[in-house]
Amino acid sequence: MKSLRSQLVFFWVLLFSVCAALAVVMLTLYRASAGAQIDAGRTATEQSCRAIAARYAKAATDASEPKIDLLQVVLQLVLTEVPHVEGGVWQAGARANSGLLAYAYPTYEGSGVKRDVPAAEQPLIVELSQLAARAQAPQTDVVRGSREALIVSACPLASASKDLAAWTMTRTNGGALAALGSLRVGLGVLLAAVLASGLWLGFILFRGLRHVQRLETRLAQADASDGAMPELPRTGVRELDRIVDGFNHYRTRFDEARVRLREAAQQRSRDQRLAALGRMTGGIAHEIRNPIATMRLKAENALAAAPEKQADALRMIVGQIDRLEGLVQSLLALVQPVTLAPVQVDLHRWLEERTAAIGDKAAAAGVQLVLQHEGPAKAVFDPVHLARAVDNLLDNAVRHAPRGGHVTLSASTNETQMLRIRVDDDGAGVPEALQANLFEPFATGRADGTGLGLALAREVALAHGGDLRHRALEPGTRFELELPWRAS
């Protein structure tokens, strides 16, 4: 059981079961104790009554007329050996004391000899004696009270008229029966303790789960649009607050590490731009010198040629100027830091716009465009800068794909929740000699290319905290933009 709720519920059920078992054991012990005392008292009265009958049968000389003195002696002799048992003799038809002829209680713990038969028990004694004399068979009755049990036994005595019976009586120890009230109180206290512990345990469980639910809600409702972790409020529960404090401390360190990582990424981007700037100095000079030399040659030819041929030269010069302007704009975009303005973007519609922007050029080149979207419905990034990067990749792919070939634009996410935008073509692929410097400025395999498109695309990926990678296909080439994304 990994759930705290399940463990606490199991603990409460176990506590209740143990208390219930303890109550059953207490009740069983009580019943066993009281029952054992009643059985012992019943055995003592029945044996005493039979002993009185046996001694009287041996001692009596005239069974037709019982002798009071003899009966008293027999009672005294028998009952002396049986503690807490009193007894007597009853005869039918005797008027004195409701037929009770003799009585003895030699083990009575009073200050004197007890000679009177208890008045409250006389009706029961007379009734059992009558039954024993009439049936000529022993009779026993147990009367349970709130504090003690009364046990009375009667057995017939040898008599010609069969109207004579002996009786014995005892009471069980009142402590066992008196314990019934204490037992009830104890069971009530035990039940109250179980209920109180259950309620307290339920309160602890409810309060703890309520705090956990609040923390879950706070984490779920946190505004993570900037990637920041939320600060959790304290709950007032010491154990939970330790976790909350640990999380908040980790949050602080995470934010600091995120800032340092962003600064390191920016520094890396600056370092790469500076390193590329040094390498591309020669390329800039070459790229600018060639158009200038062409324009100079055309201008000199135009001056020496007839006026009607000067228009062709001017058009050539304007074309070279456009090329220089595009080169300057690309250089400015490359050396200036990329300032992002991320917003939530409908990713599928944005991808459709990218294929539509290159659609005419692809159709003119006889290349079929394919769009595959397996990524999230929405993502947060800078749509303008990322569009410039993807458009450059699509333009390169269309240029290198053969007529009748395919260019595939796809989007998906991986197990690390990174957004992958791939541009695949089935062209000849990137020459091996060019792969090492593929993303550096002016690294190009085309005579009419500047080699700045891939460098710009990689700058955009780095600014988003991602990267741009090249993968060789059989046949063709894949460029993969990988960058973090957030749905909101």
Q: Pick 23 or 449 by higher pLDDT.
A: 23
* Four-residue CA torsion sign, 170, 176, 180, 181: positive
| Residue 146 DSSP SS3 | coil
The pLDDT of 196-210, averaged and rounded, is 75
177 contact partners, CB below 8 Å, separation of at least 6: 34, 144, 145, 146, 147, 148, 149
First to last CA, the chain: 36
Assigned domain for 380 exists? yes
pLDDT digits 0-9 by tens, 409-443: 998 887 667 888 999 998 887 777 666 666 666 55
**372 pLDDT exceeds 60?**
yes
Residue 141's CATH number: 3.30.450.20
Assigned domain for 330 exists? no
CA distances from 107 to 77, 112, 121 (A): 11, 11, 19
| Residue 269 DSSP SS3 | helix
**142 pLDDT exceeds 50?**
yes
Displacement of CA 312 from its chain's centroid (Å): 80
**Per-residue pLDDT, 264:** 84
Assigned domain for 290 exists? no
- Structure-block tokens of residue 386: 């990322």
Q: In sequence order, what E strands does 427-485 have?
A: 467-472, 477-484
Assigned domain for 423 exists? yes
Assigned domain for 154 exists? yes
418-425 and 378-381 strand pairing: unpaired
**Per-residue pLDDT, 128:** 93
- Lookup result for tokens 């029945």: 46
Q: Pick 167 or 239 by higher pLDDT.
A: 167
**Per-residue pLDDT, 43:** 92
**Per-residue pLDDT, 326:** 59
Assigned domain for 389 exists? yes
**Per-residue pLDDT, 182:** 63
Assigned domain for 460 exists? yes
**In sequence order, what are the beta bridge partners of 156?**
165
Out of 179, 199, 222, a domain closes at 179
How far apart CA 300 and CA 34 sit, in angstroms, is 135
The residue count of the chain comes to 488
Out of 154, 179, 204, a domain closes at 179
The pLDDT of 63-92, averaged and rounded, is 85
Lowest model confidence (mean pLDDT) among 6-15, 83-92, 421-430: 6-15
Assigned domain for 267 exists? no
Residue 404's CATH number: 3.30.565.10
Out of 179, 214, 239, a domain closes at 179
DSSP symbol at 119? T
**Per-residue pLDDT, 293:** 72
DSSP one-letter string for 288-332: HHHHHHHHHHHHHHHHHS-GGGHHHHHHHHHHHHHHHHHHHHHHH
**Per-residue pLDDT, 225:** 44
Domain that holds residue 154: 4-179
Q: How many domains does the chain have?
A: 2
The pLDDT of 354-373, averaged and rounded, is 89
- Structure-block tokens of residue 430: 């990137």
